Amino acid sequence: IVVELPYVFLQTIIYGVIVYVMIGFEWEIEKFFWYIFICYFTLLYFTLFGMMTISITPNPTIAGIFSSACYSTWGLFAGFVIPITRIPVWWRWFYYICPFSWTLNGLITSQFGDIETRLDTGETVEEFIHSYFGFRHDRLGYVALIIVGFAVIFGFTFAFSIRTFNFQKR
């Protein structure tokens, strides 16, 4: 697992700087570091999720099918296509266990959650983000801990599985 950390960091720096500039986010040091932090741990948990998936399934075909199903479901319940405020109550639990929903929360909140500019509707960007997505800037620290938590969970599950499971036939 440790060998992945510098590779993911290098990938984050290269990708993160290019994309941050291309998107045109505000050049504030705090916002930039939040962006890099969230990108790093998102790339890390996706890497560790792939490693975990390989370690808990008997072959790459099943791992690919399982990963595809997870990624599709995560994309649906991430809160972008259907925000949490519009997800039916009986499905909201899935939003909270979806890693990508926390990444989306962190990215939107860190970059736009403190903007007081008024929109055409009369509400500020911060108020819109809270009313539409349910995101709050004052919870950014908790969101960061949850994103790190997913990386830790996937890493520990991989380490446990690679040590415990044996899919070799005798």
Does the predicted TM-score (pTM) go above 0.85?
A: yes
Q: Which domain holds residue 102?
A: 4-164
pLDDT of residue 170: 60
169 occurs within a structural domain? no
pLDDT of residue 70: 94
Angstrom distance (rounded) from CA 114 to CA 128:
11
112 occurs within a structural domain? yes
Q: For residue range 83-140, list pLDDT tens digits in order.
A: 888 888 988 999 999 999 999 999 999 999 999 999 999 999 999 999 999 899 999 9
Q: How far is CA 62 from CA 48, 55, 67, in A?
A: 17, 11, 8
Long-range contacts: 112-121, Cβ < 8 Å, 24+? Answer: 113/137, 113/140
Q: For residue range 46-91, list pLDDT tens digits in order.
A: 999 999 999 999 999 999 999 999 999 999 889 888 888 888 898 8
Count the domains in the chain: 1
